[in-house]
Amino acid sequence: MNSKSDYIAVFDSGVGGISVLRQLRAQMPKERFLYYGDSANAPYGTRTAQQIRQLVMAVSADLMDRGCKALVVACNTATAAAIDLLRQTWPDRIIVGIEPALKPAAEHFPGGCVGVLATPVTLREEKFQHLMQLCQGKCQIIQIPAPGLVELVEQGKAVSPDAEELLRPLLEPLKGKLQALVLGCTHYPFAARSIRAILGDSVALLDGGEGTARETRRRLEQAGLLWDGPGEIRFESSLPGDGILSLSRSLLEQE
């Protein structure tokens, strides 16, 4: 039985899920969060679905054993590959995933052109393909796989000439065509300035972090598990050394 003071575990393949943690903290500033980044195995987006499921289940089992009151899978790739298995394994626990913000993009830009920047695995998975089918008639959707961008964010180079060099051939041909770009990986909001340097300010950038935080709060409230403080954030990583933890803290406070 969980208590209100138990941690909310937030899990990602690396530091990307900190973009979701920021939204969670904004909506629930008095909660206790345990953020776990599996940076030693990042990126997930180039692995097979089976490999991703094995990694996700191993980390999640540890977090569940430690008594977290909710598990937030703050990784689009992990959600697409493993969320159903997680819910089957722990049917009585609060488990919230994230998906690319394609539905809100289609609703806000009917008949427009929407790009989805994501990892190759996310775009291939059945969960995303189903989401595509739901939105297909509402707007034009362009899938944009971006291998390599996660690695740059993990290296602290989300806003850098390297990031712009990687993104330019993907995004520049779409300049003037896109009304919105869905950031379909939780690492990508940290590269927003690099994206803006190519597309300009007229393209709306959307990600699923706010909706995930809202759903987590709703589920905790429904279960009577909201905590009234004091708030706390702890960082853990599968990558040894202080460098990744230092990067995690700086990303949490990044403007």
Task: Choose the catalytic residue: 75, 113, 135, 139.
Answer: 75
Is 113 a catalytic site residue?
no
- Phi/psi-derived region of residue 161, left when phi > 0, alpha when psi is between -120 and 50, beta in every other case: alpha
Cα 243 to chain centroid, rounded: 21
Task: Choose the catalytic residue: 113, 135, 139, 185.
Answer: 185
Is 75 a catalytic site residue?
yes
Beta strands in 26-158 (DSSP E): 32-37, 70-73, 94-96, 113-118, 140-145
- The answer to whether residues 63 and 71 touch, using CB atoms and an 8 Å cutoff, is yes
Residue 158 DSSP class:
S
Cβ neighbours of 63 (radius 10 Å): 17
Measured between alpha carbons, how far is 102 from 8 in angstroms, rounded to an integer?
26
Measured between alpha carbons, how far is 18 from 24 in angstroms, rounded to an integer?
9
- Produce one character per residue of 139-163: b if its CB has 16 or more CB atoms within 10 Å, e if not: bebeebbbeebbbbbbebbbbbebb
The catalytic site residues sit at 75, 185
